Amino acid sequence: MSRYLDMVDGPEHVKKLTVPQLQDLAGEIRTELIEGLAKGGGHLGPNLGVVELTIALHRVFDTPKDKFVWDVSHQVYVHKLLTGRKNRFRTIRQTGGLNGFALRTESEHDSFGAGHAGTALSAALGMAAARDKRGSDENVVCIFGDAALTNGISFEALNNLKPSTKKFIGILNDNEWSIAKNVGAISEYLNKLITNPSYNKLARDFEGFVRRYLPKGDFALKLAHKAEEGVKSAITGVTLKQTGSLEADGRGGQGSPVLFEEMGLRYLGPIDGHNLPLLISTLEFAKQCDHPIVIHVLTQKGKGFEAALKQPEKFHGLGPYNAQTGETAPAKPGTPPMYQDVMGQTMVRLCEQNGNIVGLTAAMPSGTGMKHLEKARPDRYIDVGIAEEHGVIFAAGMATMGFRPVVAIYSSFLQRAYDCIHHDVCLQDLPVIFCMDRAGLSANDGPTHHGLFDIAYLRCLPNVIAMAPANEDELVDMMFTAAQTNHPTFIRYPRGTAEGVALKPIPLIMEIGKAMVTQKFADTGRTKVALFGLGPMHAIALKAAAQLEKEGYDVAVINPRFTKPIDAAVHEEFARVAALVVTLEDHTIMGGYGSSVLETLSEQRVTTPVIRIGWPDQFVEHATTQDELRAKYGLSVEGTVTKVKAHFAKAAQPVAA
């Protein structure tokens, strides 16, 4: 039997199906998500949670004229399936395939790209304001999660809503989870909102609207009443805890019980986000409202897949899994540990030795490895929510009181806290330690998640010490070293498995700014090439050296370890005797480590040519594996060897007359 999904090539086809047919479509989409992602992985749980919501959105609104703005946009897979991309769906997050997030260049139905949390409300508000100014009539619908509300930017947008527009539709997709369990007062507040009996009053309020606006008000009304039951059943599914009532306005006064209303948004909800007819009628209603409105929708992360329901954190985003059981393959014996786990386990060791160490994550306990600390030393572990700026300034505050906070944030997410690094940490020269995971590529996530800019954005800031370990043992050394510096200290390391070297029982405290010479010149009289391989590129430099030696070169390999301060003496020493210097970094070439080598050598009047190997001055696309992208852009053994040989081949050519 053919599927309704096969008939849907665009949102116009969603509009042709009856509600029961759409309910069947929801089931088909769930199957497609579960089966389609099994091979390559992806954000399964969040997408299973928004199936009915996305269908209802496309049933009621008309993209691309109407604009959907999704926060983070990791939950747009269903939207992709319904907007002409279903035939390419199984290529998602793979080389040449669909991107895992909303991407303006991928489809006219993706009105705003994202990957970082907390941007949707601002972007949508900007669109609504632009629409009002130009006098057009498209609807702007912003879909944001409960964890997006832990982010400051979301509140900046809400604060600015009233003066910005009269028409705006927000959908709060509340599933109680961030990647891990959502944290903080806002999440407790949302819980109170759900469990508070005053929602009945709100539902009655909705009733009045429905009577006034909808021709088939009776039908919608029945649904609204069902909503109340629906909410309760949804609540049982979502296992909400009763967190107290909201008799007043949540601030101790006797005004509106709902914060959103104070911000200028009419609040509707909570409603069951898996009840398709209810969602459709509520969105129809929202469409006709001539004032900003927010609909509080309760959904279940992982809905329809037992394994995902049981383990929402694991199924937020994962690699390949068994489509029947949800099982994932265990790591092959002998696989090196993940850098993130080495970092988390080292935190536990550091805390044992130093009573002032605390670990901080911005909603990423598993991704950063801080979960190890959470488990072993909950008293030393802090999750601030998706709040990178706050987290960095919070750490700065703790540092003024004698603590040594270790802030573990992915390189690309830390970009958001740049001013906090500058103004609150570096300017006051506070000893905050930053562990920057995903420094380098996050291949299948793509450009929103690649961490390719941190060396450049940090090396211009005074007081910074910045390092990059070549392997997991050096990561441990660097963390112990960082705990002894009295300055802002940054450690960048890549996503995924480490090199597989043994960890020394007692970590080495490194001399700040000192490189390590791994392989000296053999002084055989052959052409000398000095390879400076930073971080994970050190291993590539070593392999390239072996090949170049076979080709007749005399090759030295240096592990720079520090990008600030760089070891000027070692760079000068090797550059003076080499015929060619090659710098290798898992970072954009523009302003990165290689640039600092060029500056240093120029200052020392060393004129040896320098080839910089790194990522080009463009946003690098997503791909199935990091190795594919490294090969494509020449950050590989072959790429290095080819560039070196090409350099000398060109040098040997006679100069044209």
Ligand X SMILES: Cc1ncc(C[n+]2csc(CCOP(=O)(O)OP(=O)(O)O)c2C)c(N)n1
Asked if residue 287 lies in contact with residue 67, where contact means CB atoms within 8 angstroms, the answer is: no
Question: Cβ contacts of residue 82 below 8 Å, gap of 6+?
Answer: 8, 10, 11, 14, 54, 55, 58
- Strands of the sheet containing 433-436, edge to edge, are 381-383, 357-361, 404-408, 433-436, 489-492, 465-467, 562-564
The catalytic residues are 301, 388, 416
Closer residue to ligand X, CB minimum distance, 362 or 575: 362
Report the amino acid identity of residue 352.
E
User: What tokens does 518 get?
Assistant: 């791994």
Please give the Cα distance from 474 to 470 (Å, whole number): 6
Closer residue to ligand X, CB minimum distance, 75 or 83: 75
Please give the Cα distance from 116 to 322 (Å, whole number): 28
Closer residue to ligand X, CB minimum distance, 146 or 586: 146
CB atoms under 10 Å from CB of 397, counted, come to 14
Start-to-end C-alpha separation, the chain: 74
**3-class DSSP state for residue 513?**
coil
Closer residue to ligand X, CB minimum distance, 33 or 531: 33
Closer residue to ligand X, CB minimum distance, 176 or 284: 176
Q: Look-up: residue for tokens 């050394």? A: 477
Asked if residue 73 lies in contact with residue 113, where contact means CB atoms within 8 angstroms, the answer is: yes
Closer residue to ligand X, CB minimum distance, 30 or 74: 74
Name the residue among 202, 190, 172, 193 with its Cα closest to residue 246. 193
Report the amino acid identity of residue 398.
M
Q: Look-up: residue for tokens 């600030």? A: 564
Q: Which residue is nearest to ligand X (CB)?
A: 145
| Minimum distance, C-beta of residue 365 to ligand X, in the bound complex (Å) | 10
Q: Where does this chain bind ligand X (CB under 6 A)?
A: 46, 71-72, 74-75, 116-117, 145-148, 173, 175, 177-179, 301, 316, 362-363, 386, 388, 413, 416
DSSP label at residue 383: E
| Minimum distance, C-beta of residue 367 to ligand X, in the bound complex (Å) | 7
| Minimum distance, C-beta of residue 172 to ligand X, in the bound complex (Å) | 9
| Minimum distance, C-beta of residue 148 to ligand X, in the bound complex (Å) | 4
Closer residue to ligand X, CB minimum distance, 368 or 600: 368
Q: Look-up: residue for tokens 């496309």? A: 58
Asked if residue 569 lies in contact with residue 516, where contact means CB atoms within 8 angstroms, the answer is: no
| Minimum distance, C-beta of residue 274 to ligand X, in the bound complex (Å) | 14
Q: How far, in whole angstroms, is CA 560 from its chain's centroid?
A: 28
User: What tokens does 485 get?
Assistant: 């510096």
The CA-based dihedral angle spanning residues 466, 472, 478, 479, taken in that order and rounded to the nearest 10 degrees: 110
Question: Cβ contacts of residue 251 below 8 Å, gap of 6+?
Answer: none
Please give the Cα distance from 627 to 549 (Å, whole number): 23
DSSP label at residue 420: I
Closer residue to ligand X, CB minimum distance, 174 or 567: 174
Cα 154 to Cα 117, 173, 190, 386: the distances in Å are 9, 14, 15, 11
| Minimum distance, C-beta of residue 343 to ligand X, in the bound complex (Å) | 17
Query: Which sign, positive or negative, has the C-alpha torsion 330, 333, 336, 341?
Result: positive
Please give the Cα distance from 469 to 515 (Å, whole number): 11
Pairing of strands 554-559, 516-519: antiparallel
| Minimum distance, C-beta of residue 339 to ligand X, in the bound complex (Å) | 17
DSSP label at residue 408: E
| Minimum distance, C-beta of residue 180 to ligand X, in the bound complex (Å) | 8
| Minimum distance, C-beta of residue 444 to ligand X, in the bound complex (Å) | 14
User: What tokens does 322 get?
Assistant: 């068994």
Closer residue to ligand X, CB minimum distance, 173 or 595: 173
